[in-house]
Amino acid sequence: MILKTIFQTFDKVAATSSTTEKTKLMQELVSDPEAAKIVERIYQMVYDQFTLYWTTAKPVKNDFNYPHDLDEQALWRVFEKLIQTLASGKVRGNVGKGMIEEFMSYCPISYQHWFSKIINRDLRMGWHQFDKFFPRVRTFNVQLCPEYTPGMKLNFPVLVEPKLDGVRSVIAVGGKESEDKILGRSGKSLSNCDHILDELKTIFCNEAIDGELKSKDFNSTISATSSETKSVGGTCLYAFDIVYYDEFFKEECTETLKARRERLHKAIKSSSCRFVKIVEGVVANNEQELHAAYQRFLDEGYEGAVIKDLNSLYDYSVDERGKEKRSNAWLKLKPAYPADLEIIGFKEGLGKYQGVLGAILVRGKVKKNGEDVTVEAYVGGMTDKMRKDIWSRRSELLGSIVEVKYGDVTTNADGTYSLRFPRFVRLRSDR
């Protein structure tokens, strides 16, 4: 009974906290060719970022007593067909939920548990290194921004845009409804954006629009775009780029940023959209004009600026092996505030950092709106050598002072404070 074996193994993987043990369990599982075939298909169902199911799933109660010789092959075939139907986009919402509930009613509850996780595309077993065993699934990539540092060579004139504190998104308007996609930076479908998609469909077709989703503040934007139930019509898309639909999903681009921006600007400015806005930038001809624009954006309350090469093509920030890389065609410039904070804990790393330091937990006082507040945050950014050294001396270093830099102070849901983008600078041996 292969399905039973697979799901029992998933249970064991979820139950252990050791990454090594998780990998060992999965390796033993996929050594069986029949199991490997189904596990690879599960990997594709969950992690293929261009497949959407348009609904959610949960286990249902039933009173059936299942025979020991349950026909798992037939059950898996029916599930495959259900997945294909959901992915087609022809059924959504409650209709899709009804189909899922009918399927679940014929499954043991232990099977329902994992079938639901597959449809919800979140296995939640603390391990996602399937590409150790199988070819990588299709991934979703957007252009990323490395940090700008003084002295970097720039191709003037450059476009300087304000850096918004929102949720990065690509809203793709296809030639038919089943091709429409509302995706976050990782390729995960975002919620409560249908009002934006509806407006975009009045002015675009076969286009992918890149931008930031923004509500009244960062926390409310995260809440709106990640909740299936909360409807926040005030969320807006602040668009800053556009790529032809087919090119975007093939990770190609044939237009310069200057041409893309002109096309985007003309379409949005001539429309009556309420929830789709253009990110207005300025052209800087030299370093002095660049820094004047940056300071203006800071004065207006933005978190910084993004510097863009007007002659660049859209770069999908991934190399031929599927690993992340960042082009210098877009560069981010934002303030970094220093702070000296106390080390109160350590977290072991994952993957390549298993057995060494993953992050340092720090606590201390910083300024927020001119007042002292106590923050607590995990800090990364150490070199591999530092990770090994700090991990081996963690008992000795507990209570020591570390210098960090951060982008902002954030308020958590419980009223406590944390740091955005905290990065390790150095251990303060003098403190």
101 torsion bin: left (phi>0), alpha (psi -120 to 50), beta (else) = alpha
Q: In residues, how long is the chain?
A: 431
Fold of 158-333: D-amino Acid Aminotransferase; Chain A, domain 1 (3.30.470)
Strand 236-244 with 276-278, pairing: parallel
Supply the DSSP symbol for 250.
T
Beta bridge partners of 337: 406
Question: What is the average pLDDT value for the chain, to the nearest integer?
Answer: 89
Beta bridge partners of 408: 420
Q: What is the pLDDT of residues 174-224, one digit of tens each?
A: 877 657 888 888 777 788 898 999 999 999 999 999 999 998 888 788 888
Both tokens of residue 331? 């560069």
Contact (CB, 8 A) for 333 and 302: no
57 class by beta-carbon count within 10 Å (0-12 exposed, 13-18 middle, 19+ buried): buried
Alpha-helix residue ranges (DSSP H) falling in 120-270: 194-200, 218-226, 245-249, 257-269
Report yes or no on whether pTM surpasses 0.75: no
CA 293 to each of CA 3, 140, 297: distance values in angstroms, whole numbers, following the listed order: 59, 32, 6
Q: How far apart are the first and last CA of the chain?
A: 61
pLDDT band at 321 (very low <50, low <70, confident <90, very high): very low
272 class by beta-carbon count within 10 Å (0-12 exposed, 13-18 middle, 19+ buried): exposed
pLDDT of residue 417 exceeding 60: yes
Residue 66, pLDDT score: 56
Specify the range with the lowest mean pLDDT, choosing from 134-148, 242-256, 266-280.
Answer: 134-148
Q: Domain 337-427 carries which CATH code?
A: 2.40.50.140
pLDDT band at 233 (very low <50, low <70, confident <90, very high): low
Domain ranges for the chain, please list them. Answer: 2-132, 158-333, 337-427
